């Protein structure tokens, strides 16, 4: 039996070179220290794949029309226990994904992983962050219950504040000046076709760049980390292991480019990646079974008594809109665009090779304030999630 399997594998390998592909994928040098923090990228990947699989299942039942969207999900809730869990997994993995991608971004910011030669790792990452947010926002419209409808009314109105072409952009999204049947079918198209068509190739580019440059990890892995500390001996250049691909071996790169101590991606890093990803998938499953995905009453555009509650990931922006005077609202809505542009520009503004976060106050202090500001606004607005 084993002989037959091995013969079949050899046959397949002769035609596809699968063996060397697997070797190339698994046996690569990664830095040793701080490796649990490097699990956040693969956890993001696993959660996105979970989204893809459960999303495909949901399209088998969901009908993207104003008259049937809610009814199809209501049917699921009433008559299909498996489908309801799939819907719960889709929702909870989206929520946890937003959280984990945020942590991955903070980690790479903190470790200065966006610096030369990894500027494009960061830039593709910012693109992925925006696309993942866009998935969450468009997905929130699809149940077409009261929460979804009123979220859609508020969110599709945001582009109207864009100078010159605001009304055009809003009409483009809604399909007309006001909300209507096209708003739902168009948003569905954006959610299942347009965004994934950009998102998945971009993930491919992000991972290809990661493989090209290798994991930077953290400054603690490099000779440069010891450079500025008085009285600390600079550790010798890696002796037991030669500098390996993908890390460059030029002497000038030694300070920042090649880690002092490396280990194989498999089994060391893959074990840690597996533990964290499996833990998150189990958490998603528990939340999906225990809490599930809510479905409010069917959307009623004529209602006057419904108080819309924003999705939690909208809270920072929503709270800011509540706090500022009316005249400043257009300015607040420009803020996310400015934030994304600043993030995209970061590797090209901060070009100093210093990676130690404690020696980069010009970037770390504004970065820490920005994170604190977002957390504070979320906490301030969180009362509204529970209608307090
Ligand atoms: C779909 C979303 C994303 C996926 C699947 C993904 C995946 C990964 C993986 C697997 C790694 C290697 C392991 C690790 O360092 O954690 C990585 C590294 C990296 N990611 Fe992402 N990532 C995503 C989003 C982002 C975002 C939002 C940013 C920042 C804006 C970002 C910036 C980086 C950088 C700079 C590295 C290199 C880290 C280093 O070498 O130290 N990524 N990513």
What pLDDT is stored for residue 244 in this prediction?
Answer: 60
| Contact between residue 29 and residue 264 where contact means Cβ atoms under 8 Å apart | yes
In this structure, what token pair is assigned to residue 86? Answer: 């799939």
Instruction: Categorize the per-residue pLDDT at 61 as very low, low, confident or very high, splitting at 50, 70 and 90.
Output: very high
| Contact between residue 55 and residue 48 where contact means Cβ atoms under 8 Å apart | no
Beta bridge partners of 29: 264
pLDDT digits (tens, 9 = 90+) for 40-60: 999 999 999 999 999 999 999
In short, whether 273's Cβ falls inside 6 Å of ligand 1 is no
What pLDDT is stored for residue 25 in this prediction?
Answer: 87
What pLDDT is stored for residue 124 in this prediction?
Answer: 98
Burial label for 351, CB within 10 Å (0-12, 13-18, 19+), is exposed
Q: Does 125 have pLDDT greater than 90?
A: yes
C-alpha 36 – ligand 1 centre gap (Å): 14
Q: Does 252 have pLDDT greater than 60?
A: no
C-alpha 125 – ligand 1 centre gap (Å): 6
In short, whether 203's Cβ falls inside 6 Å of ligand 1 is yes
Which of helix, strand or coil describes residue 3? helix
pLDDT digits (tens, 9 = 90+) for 150-191: 999 999 999 998 889 999 999 999 999 999 999 999 999 999
DSSP 8-state code for residue 265: I
Question: Rounded mean pLDDT of 131-146?
Answer: 97
Separation of alpha carbons 104 and 77, rounded Å: 34
Alpha carbons within 13 A on the beta-carbon side of 211: 11
Q: Does 250 have pLDDT greater than 70?
A: no
Question: Rounded mean pLDDT of 240-257?
Answer: 59
Question: Rounded mean pLDDT of 315-336?
Answer: 90
pLDDT digits (tens, 9 = 90+) for 346-363: 999 999 888 899 999 999
Q: Does 247 have pLDDT greater than 80?
A: no
What pLDDT is stored for residue 117 in this prediction?
Answer: 86
Name the residue with higher pLDDT: 147 or 385: 147
Q: Does 73 have pLDDT greater than 80?
A: yes
Which domains does the chain carry? 31-215+240-310 (1.20.810.10)
In short, whether 51's Cβ falls inside 6 Å of ligand 1 is no
Q: Does 2 have pLDDT greater than 70?
A: yes
What's the sign of the alpha-carbon dihedral 175, 179, 185, 191? Answer: positive
Which of 93, 189, 195 lies closest to 135 in space, CA to CA? 195
In short, whether 128's Cβ falls inside 6 Å of ligand 1 is yes
| Contact between residue 144 and residue 118 where contact means Cβ atoms under 8 Å apart | no
Name the residue with higher pLDDT: 344 or 232: 344
H/E element holding 31? strand 29-31
| Contact between residue 54 and residue 289 where contact means Cβ atoms under 8 Å apart | no
- Probe residue for ligand 1, chosen from 30, 41, 200, 344 as the CB with the greatest number of ligand atoms within 8 Å: 41
The percent of residues above 90 in pLDDT, for the chain, comes to: 73
What's the sign of the alpha-carbon dihedral 145, 148, 150, 153? Answer: negative
H/E element holding 30? strand 29-31
What pLDDT is stored for residue 233 in this prediction?
Answer: 59
In short, whether 118's Cβ falls inside 6 Å of ligand 1 is yes
Which of 295, 294, 333, 324 lies closest to 156 in space, CA to CA? 333
| Contact between residue 263 and residue 29 where contact means Cβ atoms under 8 Å apart | yes
Separation of alpha carbons 127 and 297, rounded Å: 35
Instruction: Categorize the per-residue pLDDT at 385 as very low, low, confident or very high, splitting at 50, 70 and 90.
Output: confident
Question: How many of the other CB atoms lie within 10 Å of CB of 328?
Answer: 12
Name the residue with higher pLDDT: 248 or 26: 26
Q: How many residues does the chain have?
A: 388
What pLDDT is stored for residue 240 in this prediction?
Answer: 41
C-alpha 28 – ligand 1 centre gap (Å): 17
Contacting residues for 317 by C-beta, under 8 A, at least 6 apart:
332, 333, 335, 336, 377
In short, whether 125's Cβ falls inside 6 Å of ligand 1 is yes
Name the residue with higher pLDDT: 343 or 304: 343
| Contact between residue 37 and residue 107 where contact means Cβ atoms under 8 Å apart | yes
Q: Does 267 have pLDDT greater than 90?
A: yes
What pLDDT is stored for residue 387 in this prediction?
Answer: 59
Picking from 14-18, 159-163, 199-203, 248-252, which range would have the lowest pLDDT averaged per residue?
Answer: 248-252
Q: Does 372 have pLDDT greater than 80?
A: yes
Q: What is the dihedral of CA 369, 373, 375, 379, to 10 degrees?
A: 150
What pLDDT is stored for residue 167 in this prediction?
Answer: 94
């Amino acid at each position: 039996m084993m002989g037959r399997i091995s013969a079949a594998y050899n046959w397949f390998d002769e035609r596809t070179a699968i063996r060397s592909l697997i070797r190339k994928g698994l046996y690569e040098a990664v830095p040793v220290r701080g490796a649990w923090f490097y699990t956040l990228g693969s956890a993001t990947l696993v959660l996105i794949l979970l989204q893809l699989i459960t999303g495909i299942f949901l399209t088998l039942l969901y009908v993207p029309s104003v008259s049937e969207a809610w009814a199809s999900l209501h049917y699921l809730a009433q008559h299909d226990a498996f489908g309801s869990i799939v819907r719960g997994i889709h929702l909870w993995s989206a929520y946890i994904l937003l959280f984990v991608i945020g942590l991955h971004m903070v980690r790479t910011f903190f470790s200065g992983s966006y610096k030369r030669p990894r500027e494009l790792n960061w830039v593709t990452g910012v693109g992925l962050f925006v696309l993942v947010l866009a998935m969450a926002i468009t997905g929130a419209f699809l149940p077409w219950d009261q929460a979804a409808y009123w979220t859609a009314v508020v969110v599709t109105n945001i582009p109207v504040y864009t100078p010159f072409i605001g009304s055009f952009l809003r009409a483009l999204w809604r399909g007309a000046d006001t909300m209507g049947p096209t708003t739902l079918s168009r948003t569905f198209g954006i959610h299942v076709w347009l965004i994934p068509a950009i998102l998945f190739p971009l993930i491919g580019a992000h991972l290809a760049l990661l493989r090209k440059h290798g994991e930077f990890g953290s400054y603690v892995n490099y000779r440069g980390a010891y450079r500025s500390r008085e009285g600390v001996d600079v550790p010798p250049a890696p002796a037991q292991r030669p500098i390996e691909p993908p890390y460059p071996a030029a002497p000038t790169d030694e300070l920042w480019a090649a880690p002092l101590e490396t280990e194989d991606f498999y089994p060391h890093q893959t074990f840690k990646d597996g533990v964290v990803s499996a833990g998150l998938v189990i958490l998603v499953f528990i939340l999906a079974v225990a809490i599930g995905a809510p479905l409010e009453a069917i959307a009623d555009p004529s209602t006057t008594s419904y108080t819309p509650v924003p999705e939690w990931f909208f809270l920072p922006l929503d709270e800011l809109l509540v706090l500022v005077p009316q005249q400043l609202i257009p300015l607040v809505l420009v803020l996310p665009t400015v934030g994304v542009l600043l993030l995209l520009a970061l590797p090209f503004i901060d070009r100093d090779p210093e990676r130690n976060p404690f020696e980069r106050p010009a970037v770390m202090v504004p970065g820490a304030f920005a994170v604190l500001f977002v957390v504070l606004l979320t906490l301030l607005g969180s009362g509204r999630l529970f209608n307090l």
